[in-house]
């Protein structure tokens, strides 16, 4: 219930009016200031929500060796990634005299069958764990043995009896080494957790400021909060579809990089849709509260 002061003529006293639409802050300047605070707090809440969701998604990717291995296992299911692995294995196998008697197409069929059996996911998870140990933990070197995968492909193509004559010692292992030119990611996990917690705290604080500073009734205060949440959701949805803006003109395998970028950025779409839906609900509640007159 809003109240407007009415000053009596005989004795200076304040009487509060119950008329709807009267100013609760007392002056227009105070109301404008409070609305400005609400607008700034809403913008801060939007940015903080974006930072929180992005940092949580990144933690889910590089937060642990298991997370990185799981991501690698998922990425290898992408056709361009699997094709790149298959091509590398075929090139290495064709260096063996026994295998070289066959055509690359025949060898490729065997490699594809092996990778489709789940061997690709297992191999990718090993690469993911090794990469985490090198680039995040700071290990100087990690090796991944790809000979078992190559052996399966050879046995499938030429048979186990003939395949036993193939020396695959030169096929692997593959060494993962961080050079001086590579980024030092050892700080990543701790810093991402700090940013995530800080962004969440800022978002909650900004939302509280927006609610407390709002000069309107309780339910009406949901409108700026809903707008901030919906804007954050739209921002995440936009980012999830921004891989097409990456310039891959000079990239060695643009199809591979594009597929990986699509997958990684696409992980922001789901939280974006959830935030947008929650924001729209808040906006609707706030608008309805402003349209329907209070009794």
The total number of residues shown for the chain amounts to 295
Residue 150's pLDDT is: 78
Within-domain flag for 245: yes
pLDDT 10s digit of each residue in the chain, 295 long? 445 554 444 444 444 444 444 444 457 777 788 888 888 999 999 999 999 999 998 888 877 778 888 888 788 778 888 888 888 878 877 877 777 777 888 888 888 888 887 777 788 888 888 888 887 777 778 888 877 877 787 777 777 777 777 777 666 677 788 776 666 666 777 888 898 999 999 999 998 888 888 777 767 778 888 999 999 999 999 999 888 788 777 767 778 788 888 888 888 999 999 999 999 998 998 888 877 765 5
Tell me the CA distances in angstroms from 76 to 68, 256, 267, one per residue in order.
12, 11, 16
Domain closes at, from 177, 197, 214: 177
**Three-state DSSP class for residue 248:** coil
Q: Are residues 65 and 171 in the same domain?
A: yes
Task: Say whether both 118 and 51 belong to one domain.
Answer: no
Question: Do 110 and 132 share a structural domain?
Answer: yes
The number of folded domains in the chain is 2
Listed residues 122, 144, 177: the one ending a domain? 177
Task: Kindly report the three-state secondary structure assignment for every residue of 133-162.
Answer: HHHHHCCCEEEECCHHHHHHHHHHHHCHHH
Determine phi and psi for 16, rounding to 5 degrees: -95, 130
Residue 20, pLDDT score: 47
Residue at a domain's end among 128, 159, 177: 177
CA 18/CA 5 separation, integer angstroms: 10
How many CA atoms does the CB half-sphere of 123 hold within 13 Å?
24
Residue 24 lies in a domain: no
Same domain, 84 and 154: yes
What are the helix (H) ranges across 214-268? 222-240, 254-266
Count helices and strands in the chain by DSSP H and E runs: 12, 4
Domain-located, residue 49: yes
Strands 4-7 and 14-17, sheet pairing: antiparallel
Q: Which domain holds residue 89?
A: 60-177
**Co-location of 274 and 251 in the same domain:** yes
pLDDT recorded at residue 24: 44
102 with 165, same domain: the answer is yes
């Amino acid at each position: 219930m809003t109240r407007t002061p009415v000053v009596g003529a005989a004795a200076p006293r304040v009487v509060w009016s119950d008329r709807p639409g009267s100013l609760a802050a007392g002056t227009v300047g105070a109301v404008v200031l409070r609305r400005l605070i609400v607008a700034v707090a809403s913008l801060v809440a939007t940015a903080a929500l974006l930072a929180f969701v992005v940092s949580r998604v990144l933690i889910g990717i590089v937060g642990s060796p298991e997370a990185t291995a799981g991501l690698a296992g998922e990425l290898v299911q992408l056709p361009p990634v699997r094709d790149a692995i298959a091509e590398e294995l075929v090139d290495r196998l064709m260096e063996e005299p026994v295998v070289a008697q066959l055509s690359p197409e025949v060898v490729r069929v065997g490699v594809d069958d092996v990778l489709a059996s789940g061997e690709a996911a297992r191999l990718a998870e090993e690469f993911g764990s090794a990469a985490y140990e090198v680039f995040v933990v700071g290990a100087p070197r990690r090796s991944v043995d790809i000979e078992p995968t190559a052996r399966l492909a050879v046995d499938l193509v030429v048979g186990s009896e003939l395949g036993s004559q193939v020396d695959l010692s030169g096929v692997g292992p593959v060494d993962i080494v961080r050079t001086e030119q590579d980024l030092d990611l050892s700080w990543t996990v701790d810093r991402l957790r700090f940013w995530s917690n800080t962004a969440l705290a800022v978002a909650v604080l900004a939302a509280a400021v927006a609610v407390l500073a709002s000069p309107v009734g309780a339910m009406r205060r949901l409108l700026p909060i809903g707008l901030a949440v919906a804007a954050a959701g739209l921002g995440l949805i936009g980012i999830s579809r921004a891989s097409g803006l990456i310039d891959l003109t000079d990239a060695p395998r643009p199809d591979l990089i594009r597929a990986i970028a699509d997958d990684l950025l696409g992980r922001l779409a789901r939280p974006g849709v959830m935030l947008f839906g929650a924001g729209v609900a808040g906006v609707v509640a706030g608008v309805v509260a402003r349209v329907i007159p209070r009794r």
